[in-house]
Structure 1
Amino acid sequence: MSTFPVQPYGEFLFTRARGAAARADLEEHLRQSDVLPMLTIDFVGVVAMTNSFADEFLGKFYTLLSAEGHAVEAVQLAGLNEETRDAVNVCLQRRKQFAVDAESHTLLGDAEVLTDTYQRARKLSAFRAAELAEELHISLPNANNRLKRLLEAGALRRERSAGPDRGGKEFIYSVPAF
C-alpha cells in the first residue's frame, strides 16, 4: 500500500498548472514503485480545491489509470471533506469517470449505473462475472462491461481462474481491502 498526500500542494488548491504539477509528481511516484496493490490519494489537510485543479490532477490521472500497464492495482481517495468531495464529483462526472471514497466505501463521480454493481461486488467479495450477472439479474455481457469499468478505475481486482477447460478466459474478481 502506498499513500500520496495532496496537502503539500496547499490547503487551497487551484489552477491547472498546480494540478498538473501534482499529477506529474503522482505519476513519478508510481514510476518509481513496483506494482502497488493499493494507492491512497490522501486529501487530509486540503480545505478546498477548484474544479480546474481537480480535473487536471484527478481527471487526467484516472484517464492514465485506465490505460494498460499502470503500476497500481487499486485506488481510493481519502480525507475528502464536503468542499473537496464536491470538486471531485464535478470533475469525475464531467469526464464520465468515478473513484472509490475510502471512508464511505462508495463510488464518487459518474457512477449511477455502477453503484449497485459495486455494492453487490462488495457483498460477494470474490466472484465470477456470471455470479455477478445472476445477482444483478443482468446479461453476462452487461456484467462484463460493468466489471471492465470498475477494473479501469481501480475499484476491483481480477485474477485469472484455473476454471474449467471451456476454451475461454475466466476470471475471479475481488474487492480490494480498502
Structure 2
Amino acid sequence: MKANKYLLTFPVSEPGTFLSTREAGAQKRSELETLLRSASPAHVLEIDFTGTEAMTHSFVDEFLGKLYVSLAAGDLQAGGVRLIGLNEETRESVAVCLERRKQFAVQGEDHMLLGDTNVMPDTYLQARQLRTFRAQDLAEVLGISVTNANNRLKRLVQAGALGRSRAPGPERGGKEFLYTLPQ
C-alpha cells in the first residue's frame, strides 16, 4: 500500500497470483475497507491489479462488487476510485462482475468505463472535458434534462469516477453541486 497526500494505492496481489474464492475476496475487501477507514476521504483510491494473472468471478464479486455497494451506500468514502494494472483476463472478470451488479468502474490508465455502462461513456467523456461543472452544464452539453444529468452524475459519484461538493448559493434556491474529476 502506498499513500501520498491525495493518492492511496492498494495492491491486490503479488505478481503471478491467481485470485479465487469468495473467502479470499472478502479478506481483501476487509483489508481495503480498513485502509479506507483510516485514510482521509479526500484520497483518490487506486486499486492496483498489477501482477494478478487471473481472478474468478466469485472473488471479484466479493471484493469489488461489494466494495462498490459500500461506496454507493456511503458506508465507505473515497475522493475517487480507479482500477489500474488490469490485464485482458482480469479486465474481463471485472467487467462481468460489474455488469451483473449494474455497476461500473473507471480503469485508471485510459479512463475507460468497465461494467454496466450503457449511456455512461458519453456522460463520463463530457465530464472529463468539463473538469469542474454543475449538472446544468452537463445537461446542456449532452442535450438532456437536468434531472437526467443528475441521475447520471449520481452514478458516477457512487462509482468514484467524480467528486461532488456543495456549490456556493444557487440563485434558484435548493441544493446545487459542483462536480469534479478526482486529481
TM-score by length of 2: 0.92
2:141 alignment partner in structure 1: 135
Question: Structure 1: where are the runs of 5+ without partners?
Answer: none
Determine the C-alpha separation between the residues in 2 that align with 1:147 and 1:112.
14
Deviation at 1:119, TM superposition (A): 0.4
1:22 to 2:28 alignment: yes
User: Which letter maps to 1:133?
Assistant: A
Determine the C-alpha separation between the residues in 2 that align with 1:57 and 1:137.
37
1:11 alignment partner in structure 2: 17
1:21-77 CA-partner distances (Å, limit 9, x unpaired): 111111111122222420000000101111111001000000001112523121000
Percent identity for Structure 1 against Structure 2: 58
User: Which letter maps to 2:152?
Assistant: R
Deviation at 1:9, TM superposition (A): 9.5
User: Which letter maps to 1:146?
Assistant: R
Q: Which runs of 4+ in 1 moved over 3 A?
A: none
Change beyond 3 A, Cα 1:36–1:127: closer
TM-score by length of 1: 0.95
1:145 alignment partner in structure 2: 151
Change beyond 3 A, Cα 1:44–1:9: closer
1:78 alignment partner in structure 2: 84
SS at match of 1:119: helix
Within the candidate set 39, 43, 46, 1:37 is matched to: 43
SS at match of 1:90: helix
1:87-144 CA-partner distances (Å, limit 9, x unpaired): 0000000000000000111111001211110001001111110010011000110000
1:107 alignment partner in structure 2: 113
* Kept in 1: contact 2:48–2:85 (CA 8 A): yes
Determine the C-alpha separation between the residues in 1 that align with 2:64 and 2:153.
21
SS at match of 1:172: strand
Determine the C-alpha separation between the residues in 1 that align with 2:155 and 2:175.
18
Determine the C-alpha separation between the residues in 2 that align with 1:86 and 1:104.
16
Determine the C-alpha separation between the residues in 2 that align with 1:51 and 1:10.
18
SS at match of 2:51: coil
Determine the C-alpha separation between the residues in 1 that align with 2:15 and 2:51.
10
SS at match of 2:168: coil
Size of the alignment, in residue pairs? 177
* Kept in 1: contact 2:19–2:55 (CA 8 A): yes
For 1:114-129, what aligned pairs fall within 5 Å after superposition? 114-129=120-135
* Kept in 1: contact 2:15–2:53 (CA 8 A): no
1:58 alignment partner in structure 2: 64
Determine the C-alpha separation between the residues in 2 that align with 1:99 and 1:52.
17
2:180 alignment partner in structure 1: 174
User: Which letter maps to 1:14?
Assistant: S
